[in-house]
Amino acid sequence: MDDKKLEKTLTSIEVAEMVGKEHDKLKRDIGRYKEQLNTAKIGDIEFWTESSYKDSRGREQKYYLVTRKGCEFIAHKLTGQKGTEFTARYINRFHEMENQLVAGEYEKGIQQLMERLEKLEQMVSTKFNQIESHAENAKDPEYIKFPTIEEDTDGLVRRRRELNRLVNKLVRVSGWDKNFALHRLYKTLEEVLGIYLDDYMDIYKEETCRNYASTIEVVTAYDRLYETAVSLCSSTIERYL
């Protein structure tokens, strides 16, 4: 059974503790429920699956992996205070497991983002080294010429539209003000990359011979900034969905 399945089930041992019943008695109850469901030709795999473990003496002991539906089934068999307490406990337990799963996925996403950023850093470094090594030999057939910002105007427009679309979606799902969302994006971008956007702003103005440029225009002008901004927006949106 895979890890994802285990994260979405409770053991019958834990369920027995929640309902205040001996584990052997709960197993007998589940065995009886299984027989009744089988007699009615209703499958029970969505409620629980049988498994086993070896105790301290090396003896094989049976237990069940109980799903959320299985917990609901058992809760319906309980009455009064016990039923109320068990329902609250298993709901809290499943929410706890789901939160742990989300946290784990978020950490995994951050790790993947950092790995991608490292690769981007290497690519940028390689390009700058190539430019420096060929700068004095621009007419050489092997000289690598990279497109300027002016030569890629249409691409930058598409980038600005895409980043604006992501920011607007982030505003909708988070409830943030757009100015706050942009401010937070820029600050996070600086922290993740260890840069200052004002420095890129100055470079951009020099390259385009302009006195004014918006921050989002500058971000979309450079691959490293744009790709990181898109990743940050996308991962934040996913956390709210």
Q: What is the DSSP letter of 136?
A: G
Q: How far apart are CA 29 and CA 52, in angstroms?
A: 17
Domain range for 220: 147-240
Q: What is the pLDDT of residue 152?
A: 54
- 92 plus 164 within the same structural domain: no
In the sheet with 10-11, reading across from the earlier edge strand, the strands are: 10-11, 60-66, 48-54
**pLDDT tens digits for range 143-194:** 334 445 455 556 888 888 999 999 999 899 888 888 888 999 999 999 889 8
Residue 141 lies in a domain: no
Q: Is the pLDDT of residue 12 over 60?
A: yes
- 9 plus 96 within the same structural domain: yes
Q: How far apart are CA 196 and CA 28, in angstroms?
A: 65
Alpha-helical (H) ranges within 57-210 are: 68-77, 80-134, 153-174, 178-193, 197-208
User: Last residue of some domain: 70, 100, 130?
Assistant: 100
Residue 124 lies in a domain: no
CA 184, 185, 187: angle at the middle one, nearest 5? 65
> Looking at 21-35, 60-74, 88-102, which range is the least confident one?
88-102
Which range is most confident: 130-134, 144-148, 224-228?
224-228
Could you write out the three-class secondary structure of 176-208? CCHHHHHHHHHHHHHHHHCCCHHHHHHHHHHHH
Residue 114 lies in a domain: no
Q: What is the pLDDT of residue 6?
A: 45
Q: What is the pLDDT of residue 5?
A: 43
- 234 plus 162 within the same structural domain: yes
- 152 plus 96 within the same structural domain: no
**Number of domains within the chain:** 2
- 88 plus 153 within the same structural domain: no
Q: What is the DSSP letter of 137?
A: G
- 7 plus 75 within the same structural domain: yes
Q: What is the pLDDT of residue 3?
A: 42
Per DSSP, the three-state class of 172 is helix
Q: What is the pLDDT of residue 42?
A: 85
Q: What is the pLDDT of residue 81?
A: 78
Percent of the chain with pLDDT strictly greater than 90: 15
User: Last residue of some domain: 35, 66, 100?
Assistant: 100
Q: How far apart are CA 227 and CA 112, in angstroms?
A: 13
Which residue type sits at 30? I
Beta strands in the chain (DSSP E): 10-11, 48-54, 60-66
Residue 34 lies in a domain: yes
Residue 137 lies in a domain: no
